[in-house]
Amino acid sequence: MGTGKLTIDLGAIRTNWRNLAAMNSGETAAVVKADGYGLGAGKVARALQKEGARTFFVAMAEEGAALRQELGPDPVINVFSGHMPGDADMIHDTHLVPMINSIDQLIRHVEALPNHPFGIQLDSGMNRLGMEPAEWGAVAQVALEQRPTLLMSHLACADEPDHPMNAQQLKTFFELTDGLGVPRSLANTGGVLLGPDYHFEMTRPGIGTYGGLPYIDATPVVTLDLPVIQCRTLEPGETVGYANSFTATRETRIATVSAGYADGILRALGPKTHLYAGDTPCPIAGRISMDLIGVDITDLPSGSDPATLELLGRHQSIDTLADNADTIAYEILTALGPRYSLRYIGG
């Protein structure tokens, strides 16, 4: 095949979620937005449903409607973006629970879908989504009379345990919600790891479920093997790729693999990233292009040109690639393109 093979270990996803769930005494939800962080929301969610997940979070109503078709009528599907204009029929027909982010959304929801479940997202300091404290104070009594299912907020710096923002947001969230008798949720993966003060009645780990930091004990989830199309030998002074950015300083063996930035392999990865032939690291040679990458395989034994090279797997994690590209593991996962041949194991 001319496309890479992306192997997704659903068993590892289940293990990571189960271990994160064991850290708290309340309910643990599953975050499957952005097509399950790029790994296939339907398959990921069904695996987590088998593991015991009863509540799922998505980013928008369209994701929730698609997920409902995969999971059936029983699980709760919460929508982070809330109740957007034009979403009423979809929210009603597929039994979604919007996390209301503003007074406008609250009015829209109550008028369009009276008695339909909803939650409320509060801004505890991130200034991204949710009602601000003064806004919440103005409508809390009316909103609570409508019996929201959840009060939630989101931590901005949970991956830095000592960051003062964590304690500040916890204090604010507690002040906004204490004694209201509604289940609460504050903790993402980092929040789970911050300890019980942050757990409340529901946690909702995301990136840790998919094998990423800050959950350092996570089981790796993805392996990416890229097929080699052609190998050639360069003489000293010959170059590889656009802008002649790699120049051979010795007799050099180059493998060209079928993948590039159209497949989510970010151009910024080039200077620091290796692919692996077995246990041997082979550096990228030259620029990553749209569909092709040159790889220096000179240090492999003579006559042992590989059929594939591994980019993600036991030697190199999503966080390693993220560091190489000066980004985060979320971007590495969600950037993975649609051209890969997907293989699911362990579900």
Please pick, among 37, 171, 215, 242, the residue that the annotation labels catalytic: 242
Alpha carbon of residue 103 to chain centroid:
29
Sheet containing 96-100: give its strands across: 27-28, 202-203, 184-185, 151-152, 119-121, 96-100, 76-79, 55-58, 30-31
Q: What is the CA radius of gyration of the chain?
A: 23
Strands 292-296 vs 252-258: parallel, antiparallel or unpaired: antiparallel
- What is the 8-class DSSP label of residue 243? G
* DSSP H or E run through 55: strand 55-58
Cβ neighbours around 236 below 10 Å, total:
10
Say whether 242 is catalytic. yes
DSSP per-residue codes, 165-189: HHHHHHHHHHHHHTTS-S-EE---H
Q: Identify the active-site residue in 33, 43, 215, 340.
A: 33
3-class state of residue 223 by DSSP:
strand
CB neighbour class for 115 (10 Å; exposed up to 12, middle 13-18, buried from 19): exposed
Q: Which residues are catalytic?
A: 33, 242
